[in-house]
């Protein structure tokens, strides 16, 4: 590591810049400060957001119906609540969480559904906001500690990328997702790949870069100059951070690593636990592959071999350590899947109902909101549109879902689009 290179800027940061993750082209690195305080009282310091892309079957996981799922049922630690045997380990920890079994939306297309989940806006509602930020960027922006010295990610993503996942939007690249692509080596390019680079040599290189940049700025006008200068400085701040060890899974006890499992998802959940312990505001795990138009039972069985023990370990470890009091855990999907299995042993897209799990903070463990009925086709009680679920997540995390932020054109954006956007009172109060 280069933690002892206390210089202002240097050309060796070209490699370190790569570790800043999903910096999409933008006009600024730092978001502007806004007068409105969007914070609400909450013990939550971090949100772990687990997204099942492709559409996870609700009847084969958290909302089983005996005549609709090929899986056996097991009792959970919530009295009277059963899940499928694919979640037998998670079932024992489920009393730490609440289930919204009546989540719904209008969007059965993957792209439209993902946009809604990440922004709390349907795409037509977001017209006029080409730079809309993701929920992760919003929470990073609002929950980031005041007066934090130096750059350290406030929004981390693992797994699938693309679309609105990790998008900083008008909140700037600083709040965009820092992507971890290799959980065994989460941060790379932190020192020169060859040669002996001492601090004095790096200082000289930094001075040379300063001279070249000053001459360029004097001759050419570029809106990107300040952005790249800020990113370069942030990269060096990150290299010199005293918190880099949070990304090293090997520092966890072998027995705890064993509980989470050696799969990608197990390592992602363990990393999420470490990041929450470090009070990173928003951590997203995105697990794809749920588009089970065929071989539904086989694919769900295969995925859950890794997901079930890791999810159980995450809820159990956060709960037993006390971290769950300051960490909000959310697991959701783009949409559900058809209750009836077709001739290909497949389930198609079904946005009319699915299940969302919420745990931590002041959310009452063991609560079950809504009901999809005997046919699992639609909410028959207490329907919760995803906008309402998003408002619930924001409020539980200590963010006012009705707050307004101004985008880069000065246009105010409400954090959650209007219409079916009421938070679930049973989970977050009035």
User: pLDDT tens for residues 250-262?
Assistant: 999 999 999 999 9
Identify whether 78 is part of a domain.
yes
Cα–Cα distance measured from residue 25 to residue 225, given in angstroms and rounded to the nearest whole number: 13
Strand 97-104 and strand 155-159: the pairing is unpaired
Return the minimum-mean-pLDDT range out of 12-16, 59-63, 271-275. 12-16
CATH of the domain at 138: 3.40.720.10
Q: With bands split at pLDDT 50, 70 and 90, how would you rate the model's confidence at 16?
A: very low
DSSP string, 41-86: --S--EEEEEEETT---STTTTS--TTT-SS-EEE-SSTT-EEEGG
Say if CB 83 and CB 311 are below 8 A apart. no
Q: What is the mean pLDDT of residues 394-400?
A: 98
Q: With bands split at pLDDT 50, 70 and 90, how would you rate the model's confidence at 382?
A: very high
pLDDT of 140 > 60? The answer is yes
**In this predicted structure, what is the pLDDT of residue 228?**
77
- Rounded to the nearest 10 degrees, the angle between the axes of helix 110-119 and helix 135-143 is 10
pLDDT of 360 > 60? The answer is yes
Identify whether 205 is part of a domain.
no
**In this predicted structure, what is the pLDDT of residue 29?**
59
pLDDT of 231 > 90? The answer is no
pTM of the model: 0.90
Q: What is the mean pLDDT of residues 350-358?
A: 98
Return the minimum-mean-pLDDT range out of 23-37, 133-147, 309-323. 23-37
pLDDT of 66 > 70? The answer is yes
Identify whether 397 is part of a domain.
yes
**In this predicted structure, what is the pLDDT of residue 30?**
56
Say if CB 55 and CB 334 are below 8 A apart. yes
Identify whether 196 is part of a domain.
no
Cα–Cα distance measured from residue 131 to residue 169, given in angstroms and rounded to the nearest whole number: 4
**In this predicted structure, what is the pLDDT of residue 351?**
98
Domain ranges, residue 95: 31-186+248-428
Q: What is the mean pLDDT of residues 363-367?
A: 98
* Domains in the chain, number: 1
Say if CB 238 and CB 246 are below 8 A apart. no
pLDDT of 81 > 80? The answer is yes
pLDDT of 207 > 90? The answer is no
Identify whether 419 is part of a domain.
yes
Identify whether 222 is part of a domain.
no
Most confident of 142-146, 159-163, 207-211: 159-163
pLDDT of 361 > 80? The answer is yes
Identify whether 91 is part of a domain.
yes
Per the prediction, the chain carries an average pLDDT of: 89
pLDDT digits (tens, 9 = 90+) for 305-337: 999 999 999 999 999 999 999 999 999 999 999
Identify whether 17 is part of a domain.
no
């Amino acid at each position: 590591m280069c933690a002892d290179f206390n210089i202002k800027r240097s050309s060796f940061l070209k490699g370190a810049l790569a570790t800043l993750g999903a910096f999409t082209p933008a006009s600024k690195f730092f978001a502007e400060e806004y007068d409105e305080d969007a914070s609400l009282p909450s013990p939550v310091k971090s949100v772990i957001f687990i997204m099942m892309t492709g559409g996870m079957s609700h009847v084969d996981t958290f909302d089983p119906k005996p005549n609709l799922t090929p899986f056996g049922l097991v009792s959970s630690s919530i009295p009277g609540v059963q899940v499928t045997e694919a979640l037998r380990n998670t079932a024992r920890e489920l009393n730490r969480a609440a289930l919204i079994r009546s989540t719904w939306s209008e969007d059965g297309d993957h792209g439209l559904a993902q946009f809604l989940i990440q922004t709390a806006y349907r795409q037509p509602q977001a017209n006029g906001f080409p730079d809309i930020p993701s929920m992760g960027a919003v929470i990073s922006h609002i929950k980031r500690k005041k007066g934090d010295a130096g750059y350290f990610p406030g929004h981390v993503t693992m797994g699938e990328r693309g679309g609105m996942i990790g998008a900083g939007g008008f909140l700037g690249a600083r709040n965009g997702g820092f992507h971890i692509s290799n959980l065994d080596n989460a941060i790379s390019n932190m020192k020169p790949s060859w040669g002996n680079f001492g601090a004095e040599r790096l200082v000289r290189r930094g001075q040379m870069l300063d001279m070249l940049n000053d001459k360029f700025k004097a001759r050419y006008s570029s809106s990107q100059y300040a952005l790249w200068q800020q990113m370069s400085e942030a990269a060096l701040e990150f290299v010199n951070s005293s918190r880099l060890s949070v990304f090293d899974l090997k520092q966890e006890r072998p027995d705890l690593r064993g509980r989470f499992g050696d799969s990608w998802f197990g390592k992602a959940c363990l990393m999420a636990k470490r990041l929450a312990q470090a009070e990173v505001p928003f951590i997203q795990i995105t697990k794809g592959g749920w588009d089970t138009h065929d071989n539904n039972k086989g694919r769900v069985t295969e995925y859950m071999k890794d997901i079930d023990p890791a999810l159980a370990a995450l809820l159990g470890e956060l709960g037993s350590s006390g971290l769950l009091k300051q960490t909000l855990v959310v697991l959701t999907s783009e949409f559900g899947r058809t209750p009836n299995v077709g001739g290909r042993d497949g389930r198609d897209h079904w946005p009319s109902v699915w299940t969302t799990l919420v745990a931590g903070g002041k959310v009452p463990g063991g609560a079950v909101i809504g009901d999809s009925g005997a046919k699992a086709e639609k909410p028959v009680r207490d329907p919760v549109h995803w906008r309402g679920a998003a408002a619930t997540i924001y409020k539980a995390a200590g963010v006012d879902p009705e707050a307004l932020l101004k985008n880069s054109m000065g246009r105010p954006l409400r954090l959650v689009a209007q219409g079916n956007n009421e938070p679930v009172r049973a989970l977050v109060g009035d």
